[in-house]
Amino acid sequence: MLEDVKVRARPSWLLLGPAFVAAIAYVDPGNVAANISAGAQFGFLLVWVIVVANAMAGLVQYLSAKLGLVTGRSLPEAVADHTRTRVRIAYWLQAEFVAIATDLAEVVGGAIALYLLFDLPLLIGGAITGVVSLGLLAVQNRRGQQMFERVISGLLLIIAIGFLTSLFVETPPAAAVAAGLIPRFQGAESVLLAAAMLGATVMPHAVYLHSGLARDRHGHPDAGPQRRMLLRVTRVDVGLAMLVAGAVNLAMLLVAATNLQGRDNTDSIEGAHAAVADALGPTVALLFAIGLLASGLASTSVGAYAGAMIMQGLLHRTYPLLLRRVVTLIPALAILAIGVDPTRALVLSQVVLSFGIPFALIPLVRLTSDKALMGEDVNHRVTTVLGWLVAAIITVLNVVLIYLIVTG
């Protein structure tokens, strides 16, 4: 009873935060590569993808947080509770593969940012990004989740400033933006980019992570007024976080569509940065690079945090964070060392993430629509239908993408 009074006495805004950590996954360097590539190549054609993907992400993140609050279990733990050992191991392998693809995007993005800012070799920049991410994770280990949330939210603010500033320098044409809200594609490459944008927006590791973040921050309250209040706060938390993430993603595409379409050498982040400097000036380009760096540093630490939660939940094992950091860094550093085009690697990593989304969404919708598990907070029928619709759309898009890649 005393705990209920304490929770009610706290201003609701003090309970915000978990969704902002999860939202970092939606503005990582993979988003930068996918959104800028889409805007530079197809103008405003794929604006609708960002809007739809952001709406999907809001629903998914709320369901994930609700699962953690209501059941006291993270999504990986809940999956483990309802699967046999062999299935659980196979499920973990695909989740780990997706986590590696996530880390690839984040480390490569941080390396590109350090190259743009300080002319550091990409391999050294990638190593620095990995080391700094460990420092950010140390904040969570030593100072607790709330301090970690504040640090990550601060980096999210830097990211927002870095990418939104350019919209005020060169405003995109309203009619063209409105036309981009009409769903359509223009060839196989636009479908590839749409899948990459979707994979960069509805991130599997963020779906797994948010359930644990909400549970660890708010606990596992019994059914009643306290839980209903926390679920209301969680809806606000998710709504605000996704509003920020959606605005940043949209800004990336609009800036590219307004200033980079038709220009040469804009098929890479480095080329896009140079084009932004030429079109909008060095100050905007500097903010662009700083935003990219903040994105890489924040997202790689959040990704490592999610990877540890996935492993612990599915395998009931924990390994030293340094070991996990080194293992997941190896593929990213290998990509940088052998000279693969980093921007293309970023886009393709987001396609890999898109293939991992159904494995996170299907059990999430199934579990949160289970009356026996969720009690009075089970999904409304409309919510369940929307959840299955999101999973179906993403799955169909991936099948179409495979067909286009194979036949193209």
Q: How far is CA 243 from the centre of its chain?
A: 13
Closest CA to 243 of 26, 18, 13: 26
Residues 329, 309: Cα–Cα separation, whole Å: 17
pTM, rounded to two decimals: 0.89
Distances (CA, A) of 45 to 50, 183, 246, 319: 11, 8, 17, 45
Contact assessment for residue 185 and residue 194, using Cβ atoms and an 8 Å cutoff: yes
For residue 10, the model assigns a pLDDT of: 52
Residues 121, 142: Cα–Cα separation, whole Å: 32
First-to-final CA distance of the chain: 63
Residues 311, 326: Cα–Cα separation, whole Å: 15
For residue 14, the model assigns a pLDDT of: 59
Residues 288, 266: Cα–Cα separation, whole Å: 14
Q: What angle do CA 102, 151, 63 make, to 5 degrees?
A: 55
Residues 217, 57: Cα–Cα separation, whole Å: 21
For residue 190, the model assigns a pLDDT of: 87
Q: What is the 3-state secondary structure (H, E, C) of the chain?
A: CHHHHHHHHCCHHHHCCHHHHHHHHHHCHHHHHHHHHHHHHHCCCCHHHHHHHHHHHHHHHHHHHHHHHHHCCCHHHHHHHCCCHHHHHHHHHHHHHHHHHHHHHHHHHHHHHHHHHHCCCHHHHHHHHHHHHHHHHHHHHHHCHHHHHHHHHHHHHHHHHHHHHHHHHCCCCHHHHHHCCCCCCCCHHHHHHHHHHHHHHCCHHHHHHHHHHHHHHHCCCCCCHHHHHHHHHHHHHHHHHHHHHHHHHHHHHHHHHHHCCCCCCCCCHHHHHHHHHHHHCHHHHHHHHHHHHHHHHHHHHHHHHHHHHHHHHHHCCCCCHHHHHHHHHHHHHHHHHHCCCHHHHHHHHHHHHHHHHHHHHHHHHHHHCCHHHHHHHCCCHHHHHHHHHHHHHHHHHHHHHHHHHHHC
Closest CA to 304 of 20, 21, 19: 21
Calculated CA dihedral for residues 393, 353, 29, 318, nearest 10 degrees: 130
Task: Please provide residue 185's backbone torsions phi and psi, each rounded to the nearest 5 degrees.
Answer: -125, 170
| Tokens representing residue 358 in the block | 């159904």
CA-atom Rg of the chain in angstroms: 20
What is the pLDDT tens value at each position of the chain, 408 positions in all?
A: 444 444 444 555 557 778 888 888 888 887 888 888 899 999 999 999 999 989 999 999 999 999 999 999 999 999 999 988 888 999 999 988 888 888 888 898 899 999 999 999 999 999 999 888 888 888 877 877 778 888 988 999 999 999 898 888 888 999 999 999 999 988 888 887 887 787 667 788 889 999 999 998 888 888 888 899 999 999 999 999 999 999 999 999 999 999 888 777 777 788 888 888 888 899 999 999 999 999 989 988 888 888 888 989 998 887 777 777 777 788 888 888 888 888 777 777 767 777 888 899 999 999 999 999 999 999 999 999 999 998 888 888 777 766 766 676
For residue 1, the model assigns a pLDDT of: 41
Amino acid at 348: L
